[in-house]
Structure 1
């Protein structure tokens, strides 16, 4: 299968609160029966993201993005927690935009299961957002209700088989790596995994750098250090790279010469560059690593994450040599869930095909190429915008009280 790469909103900027000293100690996590050495669980691939079905309190099944970089499980739909009668131990202030304050609630009885045999205890903690600030459906292009990470990685050695779209969970004390994988040391700092890699910038400057491994982001490489502005590729685009409580954060996207993990060389990967004004300049703030590696890189391997022994195992798969592609349309879409999902154009890239077509910010998308746009087919159009240069695209949008038709052809810009 030919997976392409798209850089989406960089969750790390928005989810600063996830790594803060928390309200509760993490609970014991998941377990599997004593008579099993491992279990295999299928996942869905939504826009390069690993999405697992998680059942809450044996009653409601939701979709969670698997993210190696988050410590606490997050549920974005409080209505689900209320229906399950979660016991909320504390209300937390997460941020503010003008007069609007954003809150989350700490549930302490959020029992979870991945299968009947893979469960947490009854007293598992979870952060439940009062409203869905994260817009994960917009990131994934499908229905997603939250994120899960360390609750799984602290319990198992986790193999992500992108080729077969399954994860395999192994008991750490009896795990031995299967044949064909190459072993690398990784650092686990504050429950987050880091891997050192070599970057060759467009100007041939070489740097050995340390990156957070982030399966919950679909970008390839993201640089958070303002020193890399000196190596910004000549051909680049200014694009939204993140979301904060005050709105979108802009940065640049361009290409590197190569990204190297020892003997593995990925040519001309896309790289996202933060602007200096968005880099934390506080001398007292703790910074570890130069940025993050997302699924744009990681999905080109079958990967085994061993947090317990600080090792990562990599094996190239059929996606390894695929071309890195960026959005050929030029629009940013906001996905809002009311009774039904509503798709609104929130940004239009200058000089893009969309900009020349007459589309406007605020247009509500009714259909694309004759098909009504829904949460069930949104992901396929995100993929279309990445893979079909020259493809004709026709939008029907609602603008004020009228319906407007706009047409353009997809074009590669980078």
Structure 2
């Protein structure tokens, strides 16, 4: 028997009866995996918060558009063209593409967003019919045989946890989160959310964690698929997330009502990166194994501006200044051009990396060179915690 035939039979056996491991890499608070869509090799950010299969930059040719799809994010909807997926592979794992459509988005710069080469997004539909482990510890996906039954595992409630998926949403992983007072929120497991967790002001009001009508401090902007939305941070205490008791964590709050009547938001990368996660959608179970010993997060000090690259001007501009923030007190204004941060002038790096450049230890200072009306300004701004309830 030829070596090629033996290798082929071994691979087929591994996929049918054993397990298949596919390495991934970590970008800017994201999982990135190499895949092949309709014969085209691509790198995709893995996003369980997206219920579809694949989203690609429309400059990548995987075939002519065959339909349309409406995408929904935290606050809105967007109609986009789609292409039928005829073949899909993730490493050595072949995925049945039946019924899958790839979404095309206009010239999105995913690589800049995640600080590594990325052509698009891989959604939950791709792994939905496989028992899939997201192994953060080893930076790999493990596609387990269907004979694996996580319901037979016994969680210890300290390091391992077994969750039942709620009967809401067709292509999402909705589970319960409880406040210290026992009030419940329904939040999705979302590897595509770079924050620790995200919910809405009206949800906090409903569960008694925010006084109705109260004004939040340090308003800033967050970017979602449908555009820029106002947001702010809050310190959450004694919340139980998917069975895991979390003494303290900082959540991002969208200052607009949810676009969904079923879910209240998502639990993101900041929490999930501490776990190896096995998803068995058919049995409606999710197994969490905490390998870092960490479950919460701490505030990160910054100065309170939202900035991004303006391609028309060829420079970074300030789009929002959080009221009462260090940036506000230093006199920084919307429209100011940012020329350098800590003497680094190459700033066309994506909004995630740009935000991190202005973060640092509490009380430390960031050096900024700004331009307003042709006038150069040099400032040193002290970083502070801009978190409500801290």
Q: TM-score, normalised by structure 1?
A: 0.72
Distance 1:254 1:152, change over 3 A: same
- Which ranges in structure 1 are unaligned for 5 or more consecutive residues? 1-31, 96-100, 281-285
1:344 paired to 2:317 = yes
Q: Distance in 1 between matches of 2:250 and 2:344?
A: 31
Match 1:368 to one of 323, 329, 341? 341
Indicate conservation of the 8 Å contact 2:301/2:361, yes or no.
Answer: no
Question: Which one has the largest radius of gyration?
Answer: 2
Query: 1:167 aligns to what?
Result: 141
1:40-66 deviation per Cα after TM superposition (whole angstroms, max 9, x unaligned): 22323334222223334444433x221
Q: Which of residues 3, 9, 12 is equivalent to 1:33?
A: 12
Q: Deviations over 1:62-111 (max 9, x none)?
A: 3x221212222343521123xx5x1211356879xxxxx97521112464
Q: Counterparts of 2:47 and 2:193 in 1: how far apart (Å)?
A: 8
1:284-316 Cα deviation digits (max 9, x unpaired) = xx7223332222222222221211211111122
Cα distance change, pair 341–102 in 1 and its aligned pair in 2 (3 A):
farther
**DSSP 3-state at the match of 2:82:** strand
Contact 1:159 1:305 in 2 (8 A): yes
Which one of the candidate residues 266, 271, 275 is aligned to 1:297? 271
Match of 2:130 among 138, 156, 165: 156
CA drift at 1:279: 4.4
Shift of the 184–75 alpha-carbon distance from structure 1 to 2, 3 Å rule, reads closer
Alignment-derived partner of residue 128 in structure 1 = 104
Q: Does the CA-based 8 Å contact 1:325-1:387 persist in structure 2?
A: no
Q: Does the Cα contact within 8 Å between 1:105 and 1:127 map onto a contact in 2?
A: yes
Hey, what's the Cα distance between the residues in 1 that align with 2:354 and 2:223?
A: 21
| 1:69-218 map, 5 Å | 69-81=49-61, 84=62, 86-91=63-68, 104-109=80-85, 111-118=87-94, 124-132=100-108, 140-174=114-148, 181-187=160-166, 189-200=169-180, 205-218=181-194
Equivalent residue runs for 1:189-338 within 5 Å:
189-200=169-180, 205-224=181-200, 226=202, 228-229=204-205, 230-232=208-210, 236-241=217-222, 243=224, 245=226, 248-261=228-241, 264-275=244-255, 278-279=257-258, 287-318=261-292, 320-321=294-295, 323-326=297-300, 328-335=302-309
Deviation of 1:240 after TM superposition, in Å, equals 2.7
Q: Which has the higher contact order (CA 8 A, sep 6+)?
A: 1
1-side partners of 2:303 and 2:57: how far apart?
30
The 1:396–1:34 alpha-carbon spacing in structure 2 relative to 1, beyond 3 Å, is farther
Which segment drifts farther, 205-214 or 361-370?
361-370
Where 2:125 maps in the other structure, the secondary structure is helix
SS at match of 1:328: coil
**How many pairs align?**
360
Deviations, residues 312-343 of structure 1 (Å, cap 9, x unaligned): 111222261553224522121235679x9964
Task: Quote the residue 1:52 is aligned against.
Answer: 33
Whether contact under 8 Å (2:218, 2:324) holds in the other structure is no
Does the C-alpha gap of structure 1 residues 262 and 68 become closer, same or farther in structure 2, counting only changes over 3 Å? closer
Structure 1 position 268, deviation (Å)? 1.8
Tell me the SS of whatever aligns to 2:49. coil
SS in 2 for 1:372: coil
341 and 111 in structure 1: CA distance in 2 versus 1, 3 angstrom threshold: farther
Contact residue 103 and residue 129 of structure 1 kept, 8 A = no
CA distance in 1, matches of 2:353, 2:292: 21
What is the CA RMSD across the aligned residues, in angstroms?
Answer: 3.7
SS in 2 for 1:344: strand
Take 2:33 and 2:297, find their aligned partners in 1: how far apart are those partners? 26
The SS at the match of 1:69 is: coil
- Change in 2 beyond 3 A, CA 1:159/1:94: closer
Contact 1:232 1:254 in 2 (8 A): no
List alignment gaps of at least 5 residues for structure 2.
1-10
